[in-house]
Amino acid sequence: AQTVTQSQPEMSVQEAETVTLSCTYDTSESDYYLFWYKQPPSRQMILVIRQEAYKQQNATENRFSVNFQKAAKSFSLKISDSQLGDAAMYFCAYRRLNSNSGYALNFGKGTSLLVTP
């Protein structure tokens, strides 16, 4: 089974600064998807960014970017120019590329991000 580990239960960043959230995963598969989801206090899970393992280029979405290190099985999220609205729980998730038995997301335990003025 694939496991996802987020080693930072809590992180803090000042407004306008940059913060990096860590995620490592364990898999024997060569192709898969990785995601970062954001869960604000409203509890609504919001997709932040996705990465296909077969793509070498790191994904970027506005102020959010990832550092995908396939060999190291590492998938960190960088948030630039942090805003108060970025405060939330962030979950790293893994999904198989292709499976007849479904496409369940395996989530890490999450990192709580606090943004201070």
Partner 1 sequence: KAGVTQTPRYLIKTRGQQVTLSCSPISGHRSVSWYQQTPGQGLQFLFEYFSETQRNKGNFPGRFSGRQFSNSRSEMNVSTLELGDSALYLCASSYLSGTGGYEQYFGPGTRLTVT
**Closest to 59 (Cα-Cα) out of 37, 34, 42:** 34
Nearest CB to partner 1, comparing residues 19 and 92: 92
Nearest CB to partner 1, comparing residues 16 and 104: 104
| 62 touching partner 1, by CB under 8 A | no
Please state the closest distance from residue 51 (CB atom) to partner 1, in A. 11
Residue with tokens 């609205």: 85
| 107 touching partner 1, by CB under 8 A | yes
What DSSP line would sit under 40-78, residue for residue?
-TT---EEEEEEETT--SPPEETTEEEEEETTTTEEEEE
Residues of this chain that interact with partner 1 (CB under 8 A) are: 33, 35, 37, 42-47, 50, 91, 95, 97-98, 100-110
